[in-house]
Structure 1
Amino acid sequence: MISKATIDTVFETARVEEVIGDFVNLKRAGSNFKGLSPFSEERSPSFMVSPAKGIWKDFSSGKGGNSVAFLMEHEHFTYPEAIRYLAKKYNIEIEETEQTDEEKANTDIRESMYLVSEFAKTYFHNTLLNSEEGKAIGYSYFKERGFTNETIKKFGLGYSPEAWDAFTKEALGKGYKLEFLESTGLTIAREDKPFDRFKGRVMFPIQSMSGRVLGFGGRILTNDKKAAKYLNSPESDIYHKSKVLYGIYQAKQSIAKLDNCYLVEGYTDVVQFNQAGIENVVASSGTALTPDQIRLVNRLTKNITMLFDGDAAGLRASIRGIDLILEEGMNVKVCTFPDGEDPDSFAKKTSHDDLVYYLENNAKDFIQFKASILMNEAKNDPIKKADLIRDMVVSISKIPDRIQREIYIQECSRIMDISEQVLQSTLAQLVQKEANEVGKKHSNSETTQKAFEVVKNESIVGAHKVDILYRLERKIIEILLLYGNKEEEFEDTFLKANEDGEIATFTEKKQYKVHQRIYLSLQEDEVELANPLFRDIFNNLITYFNQQESFNLEQYLMHLEPDFAQEVTDILMEDERLVLHDWEGQNIFPKSKNDTIGQNVSETILTMRWYLVGMIIEELKNSILSESNSDNTESMSMIMDYNILIHSFSKKLGRVMSRYN
C-alpha cells in the first residue's frame, strides 16, 4: 500500500489547475479558472476550478472534488491509481507501507509482470514500425485493413517476429527475468529452450481501464490450419480474460460522455470503429460476455448496444448476453449489420455520418430484437411461439426495476399480440420462483422497497417544510469550512443584578474561534442538526478542529469519505457559480464574507433558533386544535413565552422578522 507520507506529499504538491489543465482548456476568471465541462456537451462554461481552495466543480453534471477526485471521475482511475499518476507527474517517489514478506513478494511479482508486459508492448510496436520483417508483414497487414499510422500508434499495435525466440532473447538481454516472461505467458519454457508464444503474429495489447498492459491478443497471418487464428495471453495474476474488455482504456471517456457503450466481438472491430470516429466501443475479445465485463461498463454508463453481424451463431450469443446485462440493472439494445457484413467491414466502407445514422436507426430494444429474430424460427408453430414469449418474459424478469418490467410487459403484449394479464401472471411466477430460491429475505425485498418508497414520497411531500432548516444547516457547514479556525469577536448576552439589585440584561464581547462559538451555541440549545449528512460532516469538522492546530482544506478533503467530500465541494463552490456570470466585469462587486464573519455566524445561529422555536409553537397550536375539549392553559402560556423569545431573537438580529411557514 502507498504510505500516508507519500499521499500527503502528493496532495501538498499537486496543483488542481495544473492537473485538470492537462485535460480541460481552462481560462482565468478572477482568482479562479473556468472551462467547458468535460462530462457533458455544452457551449457555455460551467466548469470551475478554485486554486485557492484546491477543488473543482462542474455545475452541469454536479460533479466536484479535488485533483484526485477529478482523475477518478474523468480518467476512471481507482484511488491508488490516481495517487500514482500524480506522483509520476510531479516526480514524487512512492513509499510503500510496511508489508509482510509475503505481501512484498506478491507486490513485486505483479509489478514485475506489469513491467515485462509494458516492455513487450513497446518491443512489438517498434518491431512493426522499424524492422524489415515487421514492415513487410505486420505493417502491411494493418494497412490492408485500412488502419492509419495514428490508429496503429493509439492502440499500440505490433508484430512478433517469426523467429522462435526473437522476443525472449531481446527481453532476457535487457535484464528481464525468465520467470516473469513465463508467468505473463509471453514465453513458453520447454526443456530449457524457451520460445515465443506469439511468434509470427500481429499483436493487440490488452490494457486495463487505467492503461496498464495486462496481456495480448495475437493474430496469425499464415494459412497454418494447425495454429489458432487468434491466440490470447493465458490467465495470470494480472490478466483475467473474464474481467477485461479490449479497448476500454481508449473508450472510457467517450463512453462516459456519450452515456452509451457499443459492444463488439473482435479487436479489429474496435480499432476500425475508433478510426471511423466512434470511440465508445469495446470488445469481449472472443469470450462469452461475463458479469464482470458488464460491471466494468457499468462504471461508465447504464446503456449498452450490442453490435453483431447477421450470422446465427452471433445472434444466439447476443441473446445469451442480453439477460446478463439486464440482471445488472442496465439497458440493452442490439444492432445487426446486413448479411455478409460485420462491424469491421461495415465501418471501413461507411462514412462517419452514415455510420452514426445507421447505428441510431437500427438499434433495437431487446424485446423487439428477440421478437424479430426468434419469430422467424417460430413462424406458424404455436408451441414455438409460446416458447418464444416465455423466453421474452424470462428476460424481462431479470430486470431489477419494477417500473421497467411493467413497461416491457406492455411492449411484449403489443408486439406478440397476447394479453398483459397472461404475461403478468407468468412474470409473477418467475419472480416468485427466483425469490424462493434466494430465500425469504430476498422475497420480501420488493415489499420493503415499496415501504421505503412510501416514506420517501411522504418526505418529498413535506420537503418544503424543512427546506429552510436545510439551508440554515448547510450555511453552518459552509461557515465552518470557510472560517472555522478563525478567531472573531462575539457578543454574549446574560442576566445579572444591576446597581439597584434588579435583574437586567447585560452584554459582553469575547473572542472565540468560529467553530467553538457554533459548537457552544448549539450545545446551549441542545440542538443537533436534522440532516444526517450535515450532522455527520458537522461532527467530523468539530473533531478535526479540536485535533488539528491549523485547518488545511486540501488536507481535510483528502481524508473524507466520497459522500462527505462531494457535499463539502458543492457547498464550497456554490459561490463560484457567480464567477461564471462575470459580475465584476459588469462593475458589480458582492461584499466579501470575510468582512462580516462574526455577524454571519450570529445571524445564522439566531435564525436557526428562531426557526426551531417557531416549529415548537406550531406543534403546540396543533395540539390545542386537536384537543379542543381539554384544558390548554399551560400550552397557551408556553406559546406566549416562546413568542417573547422570538421577539428577543428579532431584536438581536436588528430587524423585524416575519414568520416562516
Structure 2
Amino acid sequence: MITKSTIDRIMEATDIAEVIGDFVQLKKRGANYIGLSPFANERTPSFTVSPAKGIFKDFSSGKGGSAVTFLMEHEKFTYPEALKWLAKKYGIEVEETVETTENREEENRRESLMIVTGFAAKFFQDSMWETDEGQSIGLSYFKERGFTNETIKKFELGYSPDQWEAFTSKAIAEGYKPEFLEESGLSVKRDNGSTYDRYRGRVMFPIHGFTGRVIAFGGRTLKSDKSVPKYVNSPESEIYHKSSVLYGLYFAKKAIRDEDNCYLVEGYADVLSVHQAGIENVVASSGTSLTVEQIRLIGRFTKNVTILYDGDAAGIKASLRGLDMILEEGLNVKVVLFPDGHDPDSYVRNVGTSAFKKYIDDNKKDFILYKTSILLKEAGNDPIKKAGVIREVVESIAKIPDSIKASVFIKECSYQMQIDERSLLTELNKMRLAKAKKDGQPTQNFQTPVEEMPNFEPVVPEIKETFTQEKEIVRLLLLYGNRMIDWDGIANTYIGPFMIAELSDVTFDNEACKAFVEDYRKEVENGVLPDEQHYIHHTDKGIVDLAVTMLATRYTLSENWYEMHKILVTDEQANMKATVLGGIFHLKKHKVGQILEKLRNELQTAQSEHDQEILLNQYARMKKVERHISDYLGSVILK
C-alpha cells in the first residue's frame, strides 16, 4: 500500500487543470476551466474543472471527482496506478508500507498487458543498440532515413532480432506468461502449442498511449520479398484499439494545443521526420482509414486539422468522402498536396524546416474548396457529372454543424461552381431537413451558449422531490459546515455539528445522501470537521460523486453580469441563518408531508373505528408540527 504521507504529497503537488489538460483541451472561464467531455460526444462544452476545489465535473456523463478519479475513469487505472502516474509526473518518490516484489501472476489483466508491452519495448531497443545485428540492420536503417539518435530514443524505436524465438524465450525466462505475450500480439502460437516472435527481423515502432506507456507496435520488414507484408501491426487487445489511437499523439498533444492546429499524416516515418524538424504538432492514422474516434481525439486539443498528403492524386480522391467525418465533428479542415514523388517525410528532409513550413502556408487550401476544384476538374464540361459534383459538395457542407460557417462555404462554392447561391442554399436546407427527420430531431434547435447563462441557486428551493431536499443538506454541509455560527440566540458552535444535531430525527431516503450524512456525523463525533477535500478523495465512490456534483457548477457568472443586465443575483451567504435553517426545515417539512400522505392512505383503508381514531390523532399532531415548521420558516426567511 502507498503510505498516507506519500498520498498527501501527491495531492498537494497535483494541479488538476494541468493533469486533465494533458487529455482535454481546456479554456479559462472565470475561476474555472471548461472543455468538451472526453466521456461523451458533444459540441457544446459541459466539462468543468475547478482548480480551487481540485475537482472536475462532466455534466454530459455525470462523472466527476479529483485528478485521481479522472485518471481512473479515463485511463482505466486502478487507484494505486493513478497515484503512481501522478507521482511520476511531479517527481515524487512513492513510499509503500510493505516492500513488494514483482509478482506478475497477481497483476490484473490490463496491467499485465501493459507490463508485457513495456518489457518488449525495452527488449527491442536493447536489441538495436547493444547487439551487432541490431546496429548493422536496425540502427543503420533509421540512420539512412535521416533520424537522429535523439529522435530514435525519444520515440523508443527498436529492432526485433531475425530469430524465431529471441523475444518470446527471453520474456518467458523473465517470468512473463505466454497468454499475455499472445494476447498482446508479441508472440504467435503454433499448432503444436509452442510460440514464436511475430516481429522477427523487423524494425520496431512502438505505439504510445495517452499517458506515454507503450500499448502496441508496428513492425516494418527490411526484406525485398514481395510475399512478406511490409508492415505488421499489433492486433486489437484490451489495451489497444487502433480506431481510437493516433501515432505520435503523446508527443504532439502539447504542441497541438500551443499551435491550435494538428498536422495529420499517413505513416510513422512522416511523423518522425516532421517532428524531428521541430514541427511537433503532427500525428498519423498509421495507414488506416481515419475514424470518428481519432477525429474526436484531435478535437480535444484543437478545432483545426491540416491534412498533409503525398502526391498520389488517386489516393486523395478516394479519401475525400471519408474526410466529411471531420467536418461533421465540427473541425476546420485544410489540405496540403506535396509535389509528385514527395510525401511529408521526404519533402521535409529535402527542403528543411523553414521551406517546409512556408510550402504548407502557401499551399494549404480549405477542404471544401479543394474538394470542389478536384471534382470540377474531373467532371470537365459534362453537365451530368457537374450536377453530381454540386450535390456531393453540398453534402459535405451539410455536415458542418456551424450554420454561419456553412453559409460562407455556400457563397464561396457558388462562385467556384458558377451556380446561383440560392439554389445551393435550397439544396442544403433540403438535406438538413431530411437528416433531421430521419434522426427524429426537431427541425429547429436553438441552444444557449454556456458563457451566457448565469450561475446561481435559490437559497431554499421549493422543490418537492426528496432527493433534491436531501442534496441541499449535503451541499450546505460541504460549503459551510466548518463556519462558525454567530446568530441571535445561537453562537460558539459550527454550522456542521449544529445541522447534524438538528437532523438527528430525520431519516434520509437517498442512499448516497444517507451515507454522506452518516459519515459526517461519525467525523463530528470523533472531533473532526470534515472539509470538501475529505469527500472529494473519499473511498466511497457514491459519496465522491455526490460531493463533486454539489461542489461543481456548470455555469459561471461573469464579473460584469450586473452591469450588463441589471439583474441582482441573491447571495445566500448574506443571510446564513436563513440559508441553513431554511435547508433544515424545508427538508423536515417535506418529511412531515410524506408522513401525512402515508396517514391519509392508511385512513382510507382502516377497517375499525379504533384504528381510524388512532390515525386521526396522529394526523392532527403531524399537521400541528407542519404548521409550526411553516410558521418558523416564514419568520426565519423573512427576517
Q: For the structure 1 residues 247 and 10, does the alpha-carbon distance in structure 2 shift closer, same or farther, using more than 3 Å as the test? A: farther
Q: Report how far residue 71 of structure 1 moved.
A: 7.8
Q: For the structure 1 residues 368 and 517, does the alpha-carbon distance in structure 2 shift closer, same or farther, using more than 3 Å as the test? A: farther
Q: Report how far residue 217 of structure 1 moved.
A: 0.5
Q: For the structure 1 residues 321 and 115, does the alpha-carbon distance in structure 2 shift closer, same or farther, using more than 3 Å as the test? A: same
Q: Which residue of 1 aligns with 2:482?
A: 485
Q: Report how far residue 286 of structure 1 moved.
A: 0.9
Q: Which residue of 2 aligns with 1:287?
A: 288
Q: Does 1:370 align with 2:371?
A: yes
Q: Which residue of 2 aligns with 1:513?
A: 494
Q: 1:374-523 to 2 correspondence within 5 Å? A: 374-438=375-439, 441-442=440-441, 444=442, 446-447=443-444, 449-450=445-446, 452-453=447-448, 484-490=481-487, 492=488, 508=489, 510-514=491-495
The one-letter code sitting in structure 2 at the alignment partner of 1:246 is Y
Q: Which residue of 1 aligns with 2:328?
A: 327
Note if contact 2:265-2:309 (Cα within 8 Å) is conserved in structure 1: yes
Q: Report how far residue 111 of structure 1 moved.
A: 2.9
Q: 1:239-258 to 2 correspondence within 5 Å? A: 239-258=240-259
Question: Residue 138 of structure 1: SS of its match in structure 2?
Answer: helix
CA distance in 1, matches of 2:551, 2:150: 39
Q: For the structure 1 residues 512 and 144, does the alpha-carbon distance in structure 2 shift closer, same or farther, using more than 3 Å as the test? A: same
Q: Which residue of 2 aligns with 1:87?
A: 84
Q: 1:190-269 to 2 correspondence within 5 Å? A: 190=190, 191-269=192-270
Q: For the structure 1 residues 194 and 263, does the alpha-carbon distance in structure 2 shift closer, same or farther, using more than 3 Å as the test? A: same
Q: Report how far residue 422 of structure 1 moved.
A: 1.0
CA distance in 2, matches of 1:283, 1:94: 43
The one-letter code sitting in structure 2 at the alignment partner of 1:91 is V
CA distance in 2, matches of 1:423, 1:94: 70
Note if contact 1:160-1:203 (Cα within 8 Å) is conserved in structure 2: yes
CA distance in 2, matches of 1:112, 1:606: 55
For residues 199-226 of structure 1, what are the alpha-carbon distances to aligned partners after superposition, in whole Å with 9 as ceiling and x for unaligned? 1110001122122322211111121111
- Worse-matched range after superposition: 352-361 or 211-220: 352-361
Note if contact 1:16-1:66 (Cα within 8 Å) is conserved in structure 2: no
Q: Report how far residue 566 of structure 1 moved.
A: 5.0
Q: Which residue of 2 aligns with 1:98?
A: none
Q: For the structure 1 residues 332 and 140, does the alpha-carbon distance in structure 2 shift closer, same or farther, using more than 3 Å as the test? A: same
Match of 2:535 among 542, 548, 556: 556
Note if contact 1:518-1:605 (Cα within 8 Å) is conserved in structure 2: no
CA distance in 1, matches of 2:141, 2:75: 36
Q: For the structure 1 residues 16 and 170, does the alpha-carbon distance in structure 2 shift closer, same or farther, using more than 3 Å as the test? A: same
CA distance in 2, matches of 1:211, 1:221: 27
CA distance in 1, matches of 2:213, 2:460: 47
Q: Does 1:172 align with 2:172?
A: yes
Question: Residue 77 of structure 2: SS of its match in structure 1?
Answer: helix
Q: Which runs of 5+ in 2 are unaligned?
A: 34-47, 56-64, 88-92, 99-103, 462-472, 503-512, 538-543, 560-570, 581-633
Q: Which residue of 2 aligns with 1:525?
A: none
Q: Which residue of 2 aligns with 1:183?
A: 183
For residues 149-202 of structure 1, what are the alpha-carbon distances to aligned partners after superposition, in whole Å with 9 as ceiling and x for unaligned? 111111110001112221122112212222222222222222345322111110
Question: Residue 175 of structure 2: SS of its match in structure 1?
Answer: coil
For residues 228-261 of structure 1, what are the alpha-carbon distances to aligned partners after superposition, in whole Å with 9 as ceiling and x for unaligned? 1111122333322222211122222222333322
CA distance in 1, matches of 2:374, 2:265: 19
Question: Residue 80 of structure 1: SS of its match in structure 2?
Answer: coil
Q: Which residue of 2 aligns with 1:146?
A: 146
Q: For the structure 1 residues 203 and 471, does the alpha-carbon distance in structure 2 shift closer, same or farther, using more than 3 Å as the test? A: farther
Seq. identity, %: 41
Note if contact 2:127-2:134 (Cα within 8 Å) is conserved in structure 1: yes
Q: Report how far residue 481 of structure 1 moved.
A: 6.0
CA distance in 2, matches of 1:392, 1:568: 38
Q: Report how far residue 323 of structure 1 moved.
A: 1.0
Q: CA RMSD in A?
A: 4.7
Q: Report how far residue 406 of structure 1 moved.
A: 2.6
Note if contact 2:25-2:300 (Cα within 8 Å) is conserved in structure 1: no
CA distance in 2, matches of 1:19, 1:467: 27
CA distance in 2, matches of 1:388, 1:519: 71
For residues 491-545 of structure 1, what are the alpha-carbon distances to aligned partners after superposition, in whole Å with 9 as ceiling and x for unaligned? x2xxxxxxxxxxxxxxx46334245889999xxxxxxxxxxxxxxxx99998985
CA distance in 1, matches of 2:363, 2:549: 40
For residues 519-577 of structure 1, what are the alpha-carbon distances to aligned partners after superposition, in whole Å with 9 as ceiling and x for unaligned? 999xxxxxxxxxxxxxxxx9999898567422233223342576655549999xx9xxx
Q: 1:583-602 to 2 correspondence within 5 Å? A: none
Q: Report how far residue 313 of structure 1 moved.
A: 3.4
CA distance in 2, matches of 1:87, 1:10: 14
Q: Which residue of 1 aligns with 2:357?
A: 356
Q: For the structure 1 residues 410 and 480, does the alpha-carbon distance in structure 2 shift closer, same or farther, using more than 3 Å as the test? A: farther
Q: For the structure 1 residues 555 and 518, does the alpha-carbon distance in structure 2 shift closer, same or farther, using more than 3 Å as the test? A: closer
Q: For the structure 1 residues 312 and 204, does the alpha-carbon distance in structure 2 shift closer, same or farther, using more than 3 Å as the test? A: same
Note if contact 2:66-2:536 (Cα within 8 Å) is conserved in structure 1: no
Question: Residue 240 of structure 2: SS of its match in structure 1?
Answer: coil
TM-score by length of 1: 0.64
Note if contact 2:455-2:553 (Cα within 8 Å) is conserved in structure 1: no
Q: For the structure 1 residues 368 and 488, does the alpha-carbon distance in structure 2 shift closer, same or farther, using more than 3 Å as the test? A: same
Note if contact 2:334-2:367 (Cα within 8 Å) is conserved in structure 1: yes
Q: Report how far residue 399 of structure 1 moved.
A: 2.2
The one-letter code sitting in structure 2 at the alignment partner of 1:298 is G
Q: For the structure 1 residues 555 and 411, does the alpha-carbon distance in structure 2 shift closer, same or farther, using more than 3 Å as the test? A: farther
The one-letter code sitting in structure 2 at the alignment partner of 1:557 is I
CA distance in 1, matches of 2:385, 2:126: 56
CA distance in 1, matches of 2:456, 2:14: 38
The one-letter code sitting in structure 1 at the alignment partner of 2:179 is E
- Worse-matched range after superposition: 560-569 or 83-92: 560-569
Note if contact 1:261-1:297 (Cα within 8 Å) is conserved in structure 2: yes
Question: Residue 119 of structure 2: SS of its match in structure 1?
Answer: helix
CA distance in 2, matches of 1:129, 1:540: 57
Question: Residue 333 of structure 2: SS of its match in structure 1?
Answer: strand
Q: Report how far residue 374 of structure 1 moved.
A: 2.0
CA distance in 2, matches of 1:219, 1:417: 48
Question: Residue 217 of structure 1: SS of its match in structure 2?
Answer: strand
Q: For the structure 1 residues 336 and 563, does the alpha-carbon distance in structure 2 shift closer, same or farther, using more than 3 Å as the test? A: farther
Note if contact 2:32-2:50 (Cα within 8 Å) is conserved in structure 1: no
